[in-house]
Structure 1
Amino acid sequence: MKTDHNKNIETLKELIDSKDLIPNVSVDCTIFGFHDNILKVLLLKYHDLNLYSLPGGFVFIDEDLREAADRVLYERTHLKGLFLEQFHTFGRLDRTHNNVHKTLINNKGLDVPKDHWILQRFITVGYCSLIDFTMANTFPDAFNESCAWFEVNKLPQMAFDHDRVIAEGLEYLRKNIDTQVAASNLLPEKFTMKDLQSLYETILGEKFRRNNFQRKILSTNSLERMEKLFDGSANKAPYLYKFIKK
């Protein structure tokens, strides 16, 4: 335990002293996870604090914003090549008023100048992803004791303005649900209209009449109808569909 504590202090010192990071800029990823009609978001819990945050990090001088977001996503899930979109920049003056970095530094007994960039205002760029949360392992870092999935309507106490980031990310996901669902690989290559409707209802938080949903989805011309699914039951066999690649 003492070894982990010392390692955390050394990691924090390296971060504070680093000359390879862009000051006052970060990326935060709202990694939404779906499975069995439940929508969750990936959160980290800080050591010795009853506060949670989104997976995020600072940006290296020689790194694109998108590269930084991809790196954060990989560090927390060990998944590569996932669909990831930038959805908003967060720059309110008071967004880092409850500065967790300052609390962590004080708890570790480190001496940091008051004008150090890590203690100042931060602007963060939000990225959004949608995955099957059962397919991803989760990995905390040196500053966090856990990395776990939480239902989007049952969030714990969040650090910074990350409750707002999650709300904005969810709104973006809902407004762009057709693109997000098609690119997320949440469904098998061939799926029924019922499968797709359940996914939409979970993300949007509302129920649809079957006929109305099917009419709306088919009007987008994003699906190709395949063969029927015969499962041996007495019910009418539903058609299978797949997304048309664009």
Structure 2
Amino acid sequence: MEYKERLKQFIQELKTGYLPSVSMDFVIFGFHEGQLKVLLLQWEGIHDWLLPGGRVRLNENLDDAAYRNLRERTGLGEVFLQQFHTFGNVIRNTYYAIEETLDRLGLSPEDLEGLPGRDVSVGYYALVEYTKVKPSPDLLTQEIRWCSIDEVPRLLFDHNEMITLALKTLRRQLSYQPIGYNLLPDKFTMPQLQQLYETILGQPLDRRNFQKRMLGYGILERLEERKAIGAHKAPYLYRFDMASYQNALAEERMFII
């Protein structure tokens, strides 16, 4: 099926099977080779990038729709997913005029007849383990790939603002909830965990103080295994004690780093 036909099919489905005026957008964070990355997609036939998004079916709860859309994008069913903001400005095109955005997407105002004039988007951010994600393009997507948080290009709509606000929210979360289970391998070293925190916070942390605090929270289990790293002393491997980790998430304890 040609792109134009797929586009018309997509718009027709929006008119008949989904909640009008409400969309959702996802800031999907992954951590790989010391970099915090975000998942971006490119619609077919355009050079611009945007965040993965989705719609809510007429008989679907909002959070259920979010998990469904995220599963379709990443192939993962169990991830950390959280609402962080609702974007409802009348004009949500930060860099391009509405007409220019439609043109970039291969649309015209006539194509959108029968749809509400504006969308309110519920923003979610997700934390996923990079190596387990299998990005999946949808009907209109030409490419989907990871991008370093420091190299995100100019995105369509207000999606750059979404990433900025999601990152601020993630940084605040470090003060009251643990981070790491959905971003690191099952087994990891203390330096790997510290590097993750430093990358998210954008600043270095004292090694001894960080290790003391993290161990004091009671959410880590030190294994007898060590990670071989050449001639250097091999550091111990750790994993999260999931019962304690989930309790810490539920209780929102103060995690002062």
Give the conservation status (yes or no) of the 8 Å contact 1:27–1:125. Answer: yes
The share of aligned pairs that are identical, in percent, is 36
Is the aligned partner of 1:107 residue 2:106? Answer: yes
7, 11, 14: which one aligns with 2:12: 14
How many Å separate the matches in 2 of 1:145 and 1:204? Answer: 33
Match of residue 80, structure 2, among 70, 80, 83:
83
Alpha carbons 2:24, 2:124 under 8 Å: kept:
yes
Q: How big is each residue's C-alpha offset from its partner over 1:24-75, in whole Å with a ceiling of 9 and x where there is no partner?
A: 1111111111111111101111233332111111211111111111121112
The aligned amino acid for 1:116 is: L
Q: Return the letter of the residue paired with 2:7.
A: I
Q: TM-score, normalised by structure 1?
A: 0.83
Query: Which residue number in structure 1 is paired with residue 23 of structure 2?
Result: 26
2:189 matched to which residue of 1?
192
**Structure 1's 34 and 237: CA in aligned 2 closer, same or farther, altered over 3 A?**
closer
Cross-structure match for 1:169? 166
Q: Give the Å deviation of 1:112.
A: 4.0
1:46 is aligned to 43
Matches within 5 A, 1:205-224: 205-224=202-221
1:109-188 to 2 correspondences below 5 Å: 111-112=110-111, 116-117=115-116, 120-177=117-174, 179=177, 181-184=179-182, 186-188=184-186
Contact 1:43/1:150 (<8 A) preserved: yes
Q: Cα offset for 1:152?
A: 0.8
Distance 2:50 2:89 in 1: 17
- 1:87–1:128 CA contact under 8 A, matched in 2: yes
The change in CA–CA distance for 1:74 and 1:28 in structure 2 (over 3 A counts) is: same
The 1:105–1:235 alpha-carbon spacing in structure 2 relative to 1, beyond 3 Å, is: closer
Q: 2:57 aligns with which of 26, 49, 60?
A: 60
Moved more, 200-209 or 174-183: 174-183
Between the aligned partners of 1:230 and 1:33, the Cα distance in structure 2 is 22
Return the letter of the residue paired with 1:158: L
Amino acid at match of 2:102: T
Question: SS in structure 1 opposite 2:66?
Answer: helix
How far apart in 2 are the matches of 1:101 and 1:61?
30
What is the letter of the counterpart of residue 129 of structure 2?
Answer: D
Q: TM-score, normalised by structure 2?
A: 0.80
Question: How many angstroms does 1:232 deviate by?
Answer: 9.6
Aligned residue for 1:242? 239
Instruction: Give a deviation string over 1:131-177, Cα, whole Å, max 9, x none.
Output: 23232121222222111111111111211111011111111222224
Q: Deviations along 1:206-244, whole A, 9 cap, x unmatched?
A: 211211211332343322344463859775564443323
Contact map agreement 2:27 2:38 (CA 8 A) in 1: yes
Aligned counterparts of 1:66 and 1:60: Cα–Cα separation in 2? 11
In the aligned structure 2, how far is the partner of 1:137 from the partner of 1:227?
Answer: 32
Q: Which residue of 2 aligns with 1:94?
A: 91
Of 69, 73, 87, 1:72 maps to 69
SS at match of 1:181: coil
Q: 1:145 to 1:229 in 2, by over 3 A?
A: closer
Aligned 8 A contact 2:129 2:185 in 1 = no
Unaligned runs of 5+ in 2: 248-257
